[in-house]
Structure 1
Amino acid sequence: MDASEGAGTLKTYTEDLHDIGTKLTGIGLVTSSNHDRKARLDMARAQHLVAGSPSWFSMQDCN
């Protein structure tokens, strides 16, 4: 995977996360603040994964 493919995959991944979070928030399963925090963490993990870092799963959730 080259950089442009990785960026496209990351963009699709984050759009999908946003869509899923919006649907869950809409039916009351996820509060918007929890969704926002989780989306930021998932985005950070995805960026590390695309960058090739094997340590993405050990990141701590920082507010």
Structure 2
Amino acid sequence: MNSHLFATTPRMQIVWDVLEAAKDNADEMVIAACRRLIVADRLGWKKHAKRGDIELVMSIAG
């Protein structure tokens, strides 16, 4: 697992790892979900994170 400078929590470490894999595979839907979750983390996870994005990223993570 890579260590990302911006990953402040284990949850965000997963998001960043999935984002890197999605970029390698050119998976635009997953890339967009990861980016929305990164923004949600900065603005306030509970209010801004979408359940569908969380489920998609976690399903990819394994």
TM-score (norm 2): 0.42
TM-score (norm 1): 0.42
- Structure of higher CA gyration radius: 1
